[in-house]
């Protein structure tokens, strides 16, 4: 699988090609592609951080209990 850095490089290449494009339609398409690549890289980084937190048990382990308490404010949660 490709890394977020490699995908960001794709976004950068699209931006460079957009600067050189003569047709406005081509520039617009390349800018949309660059934005898509950058968004994909951001999402991959976010998922990687989420997976790492879940694997080491920090912070992510308490989230479901907090969510359950917020969903049912009248219920009390047992103390840990």
Tens of pLDDT, residues 4-36: 999 999 999 999 999 999 999 999 999 999 999
Tens of pLDDT, residues 30-53: 999 999 999 999 999 999 888 788
Q: What is the pLDDT of residue 53?
A: 80
Instruction: Find out whether 30 and 71 touch, Cβ atoms under 8 Å.
Output: no
CA dihedral 44, 50, 55, 57 (to 10 degrees): 170
Cα separation, 39 vs 4, whole angstroms: 10
Q: What is the pLDDT of residue 73?
A: 47
Mean per-residue pLDDT over the chain, rounded: 81
């Amino acid at each position: 699988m490709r890394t977020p850095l490699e995908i960001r490089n794709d976004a950068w290449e699209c931006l460079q090609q957009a600067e050189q494009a003569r047709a406005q339609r081509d520039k617009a398409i390349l800018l949309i592609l660059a934005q898509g690549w950058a968004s994909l890289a951001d999402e991959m980084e976010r998922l990687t951080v989420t997976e790492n937190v879940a694997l080491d048990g920090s912070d992510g382990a308490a989230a479901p209990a907090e969510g359950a308490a917020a969903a049912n404010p009248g219920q009390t949660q047992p103390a840990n």
